[in-house]
Homo-oligomer: A and B are copies of this chain.
Amino acid sequence: MALSLTMEKLKLNPESNIKNVIAVMSGKGGVGKSSVSGMLATSLKQKGFEVGILDADITGPSIPKMFGLRQSLISDGGKILPPKTETGIKVVSINLILENEDDPVIWRAPILNNTITQFWQDIAWGDLDYLVIDMPPGTGDVSITVLGMLPVTGILMVSSPQELAQMVVRKALKMGEKMGISILGLVENMSYAICPNCNEKHEIFGPSKGKELAEMFEIEFFGSLPLDPKLSELTDLGKIESYALPKDLDLANLVDTAVKNLA
């Protein structure tokens, strides 16, 4: 409990210039944090920004598979370069280093933390407008390292309508507050499902609570995402960049505006 909430922020290498760092966080696993990270990065890239993703979920990394990335990190004259997705997003993830994508990473926290700081310090990221960090679930050791040691501009919080998820998301929101990181806004995922047969919307995880939760914490509610079999299919195929966000949820614009409002 002797946790110092103010840590010295790590510096980047001369090969990297990152303007904004967005941590995508949910507290709870499985609410679709990784797919929201992927959609945010895709959406920012489509707007013309230079974008990278740092996959901080070291023991459950999902990003490379979603983007169909199989290439390893690239070593070039002493520099380590991140591979690029189809639309040009730079990605760093432990699963780009492991021999088999399903090899487990059975590491104690100091080694997990070292991996995060190496991803930040030792990768030649180049010029990025946005680095999206896919956070691990929970408010534990690796989350503390990311929020404490990297210069995070703001948090994009992801919730789902289940009461249980709400409780855990509230923990993450309080963690952000305690660590002095701004919450840019909240996206509710899995808000409803559309029956492929009768086409009706069903709130299978219970009634939407995103707006209410955002009001409670006085943060912006960005909108809702459905539980969409099309998204599962595309992420499984490594084609998340082909997924079209609902028209009323322009993630890139919402996040970019929130970041500009911070300044």
Q: How far is A182 from B229 in the complex, measured between Cα atoms in Å?
A: 34
Q: Which residue of B lies closest to A102 (CB)?
A: B170
A82 adjacent to chain B (CB < 8 Å): no
Q: Across the interface, which residues of B come within 8 angstroms of A108, CB to CB?
A: 3, 109, 140-141, 144
Q: How far is A59 from B57 in the complex, measured between Cα atoms in Å?
A: 15
A249 adjacent to chain B (CB < 8 Å): no
Question: Which one, A11-19, A27-35, A39-47, is touching chain B?
Answer: A27-35
CB distance A174 to B31 under 8 Å? no
CB distance A105 to B59 under 8 Å? no
Mark contacts of A128-148 with chain B using CB atoms, 8 A cut-off: 1 yes-contact digit, 0 otherwise: 000000001111111110000
CB distance A104 to B137 under 8 Å? no
A250 adjacent to chain B (CB < 8 Å): no
Q: How far is A174 from B99 in the complex, measured between Cα atoms in Å?
A: 14
A97 adjacent to chain B (CB < 8 Å): no
A254 adjacent to chain B (CB < 8 Å): no
CB distance B144 to A65 under 8 Å? no
A180 adjacent to chain B (CB < 8 Å): no
Task: Take A28-B30, A60-B138, A65-B167 as given contacts and tell me if A104 and B197 are in contact as well, using a CB distance cutoff of 8 Å.
Answer: no
Q: How far is A227 from B160 in the complex, measured between Cα atoms in Å?
A: 14
Which A residues from 53 to 93 make CB contacts under 8 A with B?
57-60, 62, 65-66
Q: Across the interface, which residues of B come within 8 angstroms of A263, CB to CB?
A: none
CB distance A204 to B233 under 8 Å? no
Q: Which residue of B lies closest to A108 (CB)?
A: B141
Task: Take A65-B163, A109-B109, A198-B195 as given contacts and tell me if A60 and B141 are in contact as well, using a CB distance cutoff of 8 Å.
Answer: no
Q: Which of B136, B139, B179, B193 contacts A105 (CB 8 A)?
A: B139
> How near does chain B come to A94, taking the closest CB pair, in angstroms?
11
Q: How far is A80 from B58 in the complex, measured between Cα atoms in Å?
A: 35
CB distance A140 to B232 under 8 Å? no
CB distance A62 to B29 under 8 Å? no
A191 adjacent to chain B (CB < 8 Å): no
4 nearest interchain CB pairs?
A30-B30, A29-B29, A59-B138, A109-B109
* Chain A residues close to B by CB (< 8 Å): 1, 3, 5, 27-31, 34, 57-60, 62, 65-66, 101-112, 136-144, 162-165, 167-168, 170-172, 174-175, 178-179, 193, 195-198, 200, 202-206, 227, 229, 232-233, 235-236
Given A59-B137, A112-B141, A136-B137, 11 additional A-B pairs, CB 8 A? A3-B108, A30-B30, A59-B171, A60-B168, A65-B167, A107-B141, A108-B140, A163-B235, A163-B236, A198-B198, A205-B229
